[in-house]
A and B are shown apart, each in its own frame.
Chain A
């Protein structure tokens, strides 16, 4: 039977992510005008906010799979919960670093301890960093999967709190872009933001698919080694 080359999901997602990323960078540097208030530094917004929203999405995705694991007991859902958490911490670190640089240029400080938005994000980030300490302190197996799933679910309640914090704290330095009466930016800025968000989300999807593939290969390899050693 002839073997037909087929584009796998991870490669397809990586190609989509690369194309969207190129489009986003082109729009950010060659199309969108500088903001009247913040000037050139406002361009950080097109990377920082999509990275932050991707972090929330990954944590929520991981928690959803954790809930599905607890509901069904399917083993693959444990890995499908762990990988988004792992990626969420990577994206979360980037959110904190890019946000601090933006804060420094806009507010003249690296961090504002009075901002509820920043502090609730930091709490979520640290909460999910501790997820790994819990996970790797328990022997692999059903117990570890169960503990990890419960912990992942506990943290997800903090996500809406973090998103709403900026609206609750009216005096915060952190700007509010998405209001109940619409988006607080012009059409070209909104288009650029949407493309950058799509790029970041597709990057996360491609990283997820690649990492899942790596974990599956690892598992199969370990299984083969056990079989070979038993047979030897």
Chain B
């Protein structure tokens, strides 16, 4: 017979590890979004410049 509180503790530990990994992915995704916005801005500057030329 497995102790229920032991199962809860094991689940908590593994759950926290997975949540931390997912949080890392979310942060990376946010960073990619920022890079994407900066690339758009850069493309805008270059397009404006080629339009002037």
Contact = CB atoms under 8 A, between A and B. Distances in A.
A105 B9 contact: yes
Given A94-B20, A98-B17, A228 B10 contact: no
Interface in B12-53: 12-14, 16-17, 20-21, 24, 28, 31, 35, 38-39, 41-42, 45-46, 48-49
Interface residues of B, number: 26
A41 B10 CA distance: 6
Interface string A142-165: 000000000000000000000000
Q: Report which residue of B9, B20, B31, B48 has the largest number of chain A beta carbons within 10 angstroms of its beta carbon.
A: B9
- Interface size range on A against B: 20 to 34
Chain B's interface: helix, strand, loop or mixed, by majority? helix
Contacts of B5: 105
22 contacts: A25-B14, A40-B2, A40-B3, A41-B6, A44-B9, A44-B10, A44-B13, A47-B14, A93-B20, A94-B16, A94-B20, A97-B16, A101-B13, A102-B9, A102-B13, A221-B35, A225-B41, A225-B42, A228-B46, A228-B49, A232-B48, A232-B49
Interface of A: 25, 34, 39-41, 43-44, 47-48, 51, 90, 93-94, 97-98, 101-102, 104-105, 203, 207, 210, 214, 217-218, 221, 224-225, 228-229, 231-232
